[in-house]
Amino acid sequence: MMRRERTGTSGRWGRWTVAALCVTGCGGGSSEPTEGASSTEGASSTEGASSTEGPSTAGTSTTETSTEAPTGTETGTSAPTTSSTETTTTTEDTSTTGPVECKKTVVLMGYWPPTNEMLRPWSTNPEQNPDGWIGENWGGHGYDVYAFFPEFPPDGDPSNDDIGSPGAVGSPDYDLRVDYQATSSDFWRIVDTYQPSILITTSRGGDIGWEVEALEGGHGQDNDGGPAQDWASDGHGMEQWPTEATIEARSWAAISEYRQGNTLPSQLPMKAIVTATSALALTGVQIDENTSGNFLSGFLGLHGVFYNSITPHNVAAGHIHVGFGLPKEHASKLIEATLKTVIEQHPADSVDCAP
């Protein structure tokens, strides 16, 4: 097994070794959310239209009740009663359609291929998924599943473009460009909109086909430059590090607290995932006891488990590295098995509604 390094590397992707490709292309080895997204100043990499659509509210109804004022009783001003007849009260209730439905959701996030390709069936964006969204009550498990990921024009292959160039970072017209500022902004907008009970983040890894990450964060042990300098440069835009002024406040809170050896563990059923995916006999599967690294994979992975730590209704979150050479067809079967395993560990009727 080749070793995946933990720092960024510049140059052409096509000339990298497997180890360097895994680093810069994947980020290294193997409460309740705040109400409203806080504003981010100076985020130079978040231009472009968002492809995120809110969850459907079709079928949701409101409850209205009207009450007639009782005859001969007080309605704000007193009226004398001239009859000895007992006062009667009549109350009329309008019909109701019951309480607002409690939706349970799963959010899947990806970065480089093959992760964006394997997640397409769960995207509600017809440009990214022309075959149609399959996520409604996926598998009859009671969860609606949504997926978000970048696109890499013109050829869909970021590995033949310079790090930091548009072809390697992703199009601004889609979610989760491989950029600290864009990832921070998109991540919090997505989870604030969809309020996931389960959150699985993924990115491209090295030679291990399906690698479940056990920990996130904890970087910068030998660095006195502050949280931003714990992370490798993304090579993109005017600001190439996750600075306090250019990322969302909750992102800054996450990278400020979970650094210099302080980590957050995965909240995925890791052993069950390994059992289910190994049974497919498609690729190597393992749990990585380290972290997702200090590039964008680790940044996205830390966001997922941090969201879990501050969100009472979120019951599972964690990151998976997907081997860069894994065929899309195999990756698709592996993410389906993983998703089914996590959902079965957390049946929808056992999970609290989002607030």
pLDDT score, position 96: 42
Per-residue pLDDT of 213-226, as tens digits, reads 999 999 997 767 89
Per-residue pLDDT of 258-267, as tens digits, reads 999 999 999 9
Give the angle subtended at the CA of 144 by the CAs of 143 and 149, to the nearest 5°.
125
Low-confidence ranges of the chain (pLDDT < 50): 1-99
pLDDT score, position 331: 98
The count of other CB atoms within 10 Å of the CB of residue 171 is 17
DSSP secondary structure code for residue 38 in this structure: P
Burial of 307 (0-12, 13-18, 19+ CB in 10 A): buried
pLDDT score, position 100: 57
Burial 44-82 (b: 16+ CB within 10 A, else e): ebbeeeebbeeeeeeeeeeeeeeeeeeeeeeeeeeeeee
Rounded Cα gap, residues 188 and 36, in angstroms? 9
pLDDT score, position 166: 83
Specify the 3-state DSSP secondary structure of 296.
Answer: helix
Per-residue pLDDT of 290-306, as tens digits, reads 999 999 999 999 999 99
Contact present, 146 and 106 (Cβ < 8 Å):
yes
Contact present, 108 and 202 (Cβ < 8 Å):
yes
Q: Which of 266, 293, 259, 153 is nearest to 199 (CA)?
A: 266
pLDDT score, position 129: 97
Q: How far is CA 209 from CA 128, 335, 339, in A?
A: 24, 11, 16
